[in-house]
A and B are shown apart, each in its own frame.
Chain A
């Protein structure tokens, strides 16, 4: 891992297009500004962790899920299948 020490207002560049600015530092929290090309996904790590945990639960939960699949009547709200990407 590459480690930098930066002060408020200072920046870091990643490649030509990504600019990270330290906006504010106080009491154990850092406010960061990120300028990056449109279309690059930027998320808090927790979002990934949340999905990852749910994936693990999903994979485990199917061990006994089969009965539920067959018994459940789902309220189908729409019939039209695949949405196209805009």
Chain B
């Protein structure tokens, strides 16, 4: 299928590759279909492009590339919603935010380790999960 996006123009997405969010990313309840697009060859970053709003896209990264021991127990509620069963592969991605540093022009990047996006890779289902705020920061600077 063809999808209009602000950033990438018209893109062609295989329908089987669409990520269906069982609940919208917090703050974006009406955007339920996304495509995961590699940023560039050999880049660790991906774009999570909404297929419902052309101008909505998030930069995401595999959290284990930032924090090697990042792990969490998936709440059972999320496990049910994502219909994760024996043999299904689950994957987590974290959303990146850019900020201007006060000194100089290099921008800081932080990852939201508190609210990872968890994907049932086999069933193409996803949702943002809320973890324990005592254990995971919402802004983890990594550059």
Interface residues of B (CB under 8 A from A): 25-28, 39-40, 43-45, 56-59, 62, 64-68, 70-71, 73-79, 84, 89-92, 95-99, 106-107, 109, 112, 114-115, 121, 128, 130, 133, 138-139, 142-143
Contacts and interface: CB of A to CB of B under 8 A. Distances in A.
A55 B27 contact: yes
A68 interface: yes
Contacts of A69: 39, 43, 45, 59
Interface in A15-48: 38-41, 43-44, 47-48
B40 A50 contact: no
B84 A85 contact: yes
B71 to A, nearest CB: 6
5 contacts: A54-B115, A55-B128, A58-B112, A74-B44, A82-B90
A5 interface: no
Contacts of A79: 65
B91 to A, nearest CB: 4
Given A50-B114, A50-B133, A61 B99 contact: yes
Given A52-B26, A68-B109, 11 more contacts: A39-B76, A41-B130, A47-B130, A54-B114, A55-B128, A62-B57, A70-B40, A81-B62, A82-B89, A83-B64, A85-B84
A43 B98 contact: no
A33 B138 CA distance: 26
Given A50-B133, A68-B107, A59 B28 contact: yes
B133 A40 contact: no
Most interface-central of B56, B84, B90, B98 (chain A CB within 10 A): B98
